A and B are shown apart, each in its own frame.
Chain A
Amino acid sequence: MHKFLNPARKKRLYIVLFIIAGVSIALAIMMTALRQHINFFYSPSQVAAGEVSAGQRFRIGGLVVDESVMRVEDSLQVRFALTDGAQEVWVTYAGILPDLFREGQGIVAQGALDEAGVFQADEVLAKHDENYMPPEVAQALAEAGHPTQLSTPDAT
């Protein structure tokens, strides 16, 4: 094998090494970017069990507890509790809530826990539908090539 390492082959080898290096660098960049920008999803039970530490960004999903939604006078600050049936977590959010946000509705919020264990959301997404089949919105939107079942009041 080795004696065949003529200049042409050497060049070839370099090219291959170059490609491998390029691919690994690209992959490494992608993976780092991914690691930095993913958000884990936790349920209120998991949060209550202390699986998440304060300050860590994640998504939480659950149903808005009935009669828990409170507005702060003269501002857009809102506070409500999320439950998965077992545990509740308090969420605060400043801004416009999605149209489908109501008590009893399933929502997903993105943000982090503060020191007091209250979830500070910077984004609240509401499920468009509580009807499983036909899963109209999710699917209809999806089929049309669109953001599926989540509507967001937050612009990118």
Chain B
Amino acid sequence: MMNSANSNNHHQKHRLAWLRWAAPLAVFLLLLLLFWRGLSLDSSTLPSPLVGQPMPAFSLEMLHDASVLKTEQDFKGQVALINVWATWCFACHHEHPMLMDLAYLNRVPIYGLNYRDDREAALSWLEALGDPYQFTVFDPDATVSIDWGVYGAPETFVIDQKGIIHYRHVGVITINDWETVFLPLIEQLEQAA
């Protein structure tokens, strides 16, 4: 069967020959498109159920002073960032200079949520690297972080004046993120008020 099929059919073969290269090429181009789309899907895969919701209620010790309790009420009033960090988290090392810059810019207040950490280590970290936060609350057992749907560190939430969560950023904030996501969102929230 193969014998007769492939011999002496020179011109017919010619007509379909383009399929031999066009088919793989087409499949490849489709795959490229798919991957391109796949890459853009990445950031949206951990949607927080809390986006659009008010902050969950909590009461936590301040990192610097265990006798002071802070609640979600203390975060309200301004558009603000809440940054989840820990000393064991290397990404936070990378993110820290960016947070320092943001604190210097003083565009919006930044609050810290220290996550599953050691108080001493966290304090010496802030001493060594600088403290970009208005204040940091201390959540060693991740009790509050779970309510927030925190999966890891760093994560950053954008809240509005009324304490409603508008955005959850997973991973390090880059300058690009700041300019393309955070800043427009912050401006929009401020104007809406």
Contact = CB atoms under 8 A, between A and B. Distances in A.
On whether A and B touch (CB less than 8 Å), the answer reads: yes
Interface of A: 8-9, 11-12, 15-16, 43, 45, 63, 65-66, 83-87, 104, 106, 127, 129-134
B50 A16 contact: no
A85 to B, nearest CB: 3
A106 B142 CA distance: 12
22 contacts: A8-B8, A8-B9, A8-B12, A11-B4, A12-B9, A43-B49, A65-B146, A66-B143, A84-B149, A85-B149, A86-B49, A87-B49, A104-B116, A104-B141, A104-B142, A106-B152, A130-B153, A131-B152, A131-B153, A132-B153, A132-B171, A133-B172
Contacts of A45: 49
Contacts of B178: none
B151 interface: yes
Interface in B143-157: 143, 145-149, 151-155
A2 to B, nearest CB: 15
Nearest to A15: B5
Given A85-B49, A130-B151, A16 B146 contact: no
A104 to B, nearest CB: 4
A132 B152 contact: yes
B48 interface: yes
Interface of B: 1, 4-5, 8-9, 12-13, 16, 48-50, 53, 56, 88-91, 94, 116, 141-143, 145-149, 151-155, 170-172
Contacts of A129: 152
The main secondary structure of chain B at its interface with chain A is loop
B150 to A, nearest CB: 8
A133 B50 CA distance: 23
Contacts of A131: 88-91, 152-153
Contacts of A11: 4-5, 9
B91 A66 contact: no
